[in-house]
Amino acid sequence: MTTSSTRRPRVATAWLAGCSGCHMSFLDLDEALFDLAERADVVFGPLTDAKVFPTDVDLTLVEGAVTNTDNLELAQAIRANTRVVVSFGDCAVTGNITALRNALGDPSELLQRVYVEHPDLTGVVPTEVVPGLLPKVLPLHEVIGVDVYLPGCPPTADRIKTALFALLDAIEAGEDIASVAAARAPGDLRFGN
């Protein structure tokens, strides 16, 4: 997977079903954020104003699991417009906390209990504006192809930095992304915190 070396790499982040902790950890890059800004354009994510996922993105870090139709559509848009998709953090990689609902089975029972049986609410399951739930929370790679996995809850800023700049190097040099993942040190990945 290569990109044109004539322009700056375009980087995006995305926030699916997760707690945003991975993005907090991303902000902990601190001064390295200046290095990122120097090398790449951040074109989408909770940290930008863009509402629609742009085209021609080189690298997208996707935080969070896929739990509803909004997540699914965004994930598909990301895959269609991104060269290197990174499953960013444990929710994206395994489902993690977000997926704990899977052990409870079909979520319609849960919705019934919360919205219909609860005396203080309107007695109906909301269907407007809110996205539909998927029967099961899925890790990102279950709905789109993923190129690189960066586990951690959250991944530490150091690990994010290592992965991010190694990937940017590879993208700029037109190198194979799989070899970047293979070359990482064991300490660069860890589930949990």
Partner 1 sequence: MSASPVPPTPPPGPRSARPNVAVTLDGEEVLAFPGETVLALARRLGVPIPTLCQLDGVSVYGGCRLCVVEVEGEHRLPLACATEVSADMEVRSTSAELRDHRRRIVALLFAEGSHVCAACVASGACELQDLATETGVDHVPYELTFPSHEVDASHPFFVLDRDRCVLCTRCVRVCDEIEGAHVWDIAQRGSDARLIAGMDQPWGEVASCTSCGKCVAACPTGALYHQGTASGERRPDPGLIAFLADARAGVWEPRDNGAVSQPRDAAGPHEQGTTP
Partner 2 sequence: MGKLIDLDAMRDAELAARSRRTHRALVCSSTGCLSAGAAGVRAALVAEIEAADRADTLQVVPTGCPGLCSRGPLVQVEPRTGPATLYAEVDPDGARSIVRDHLLGDRTGDQATTEVAVVPADLPFFAHQTKVVLANAGRIDPDRLEDYVAAGGYRALYDTLTTMTPEQALTAVERSGLRGRGGAGYPTGRKWRLLAEAPGDHKVVVANGDEGDPGAFMDRTIMDSDPHRVLEGLVIAAYATGAERGYIYVRAEYPLAIERLERAIRAAKRSRLLGKGVLGTDLSFDVQVRVGAGAFVCGEETALMASIEGRRGLPQLRPPYPTERGLWGEPTMINNVETLANIPAILGNGPEWFAAMGTAESPGTKVFALAGSLMTTGLIEVPMGISLRTIVEDMAGGIAGGRRFKAAQTGGPSGGCIPERFLDTPVDYEHLRALGSMMGSGGLVVIDDTVNMPEFARFYMAFCRDESCGKCVPCRVGTVQLHALLDRICNGQGRRRDLQHLESLCRTVQVTSLCGLGQSAPNPVVSTLEHFRDEYEALLVEEPVPSAVVTGDAS
Give residue 164's identity as a one-letter amino acid code.
L
177 φ/ψ angles, rounded to the nearest 5 degrees: -70, -35
Short-list 164, 135, 131, 138, CA closest to 64: 138
C-beta of 20 vs 68, nearer to partner 2: 68
CA 1 to chain centre: 20
Least distance between partner 2 and beta carbon 140 (Å): 12
Q: Which residues bind partner 1 (CB under 8 A)?
A: 87, 90, 93-97, 99-100, 102-104, 136, 139, 141, 146, 149-151, 153, 181, 186-187, 189-193
Cα–Cα dist 76/59, whole Å: 15
C-beta of 64 vs 139, nearer to partner 1: 139
Pairing of the two strands 148-150 and 82-88: parallel
C-beta of 133 vs 160, nearer to partner 2: 133
Cα–Cα dist 66/49, whole Å: 22
C-beta of 14 vs 93, nearer to partner 1: 93
C-beta of 5 vs 193, nearer to partner 1: 193
Short-list 90, 66, 67, CA closest to 152: 90
What dihedral angle (degrees, nearest 10) is formed by the CA atoms of 169, 175, 178, 182? -60
Q: Which residues bind partner 2 (CB under 8 A)?
A: 66, 68-69, 72, 79, 106-108, 111, 125-136, 138, 142-145
Decide which of partner 2, partner 1, none touches 129; Cβ closer than 5 to 8 Å per partner kind: partner 2
Least distance between partner 1 and beta carbon 60 (Å): 16
Pairing of the two strands 57-63 and 82-88: parallel
Decide which of partner 2, partner 1, none touches 107; Cβ closer than 5 to 8 Å per partner kind: partner 2
Decide which of partner 2, partner 1, none touches 58; Cβ closer than 5 to 8 Å per partner kind: none
Q: Which two tokens stand for residue 110?
A: 């849960």
Decide which of partner 2, partner 1, none touches 155; Cβ closer than 5 to 8 Å per partner kind: none
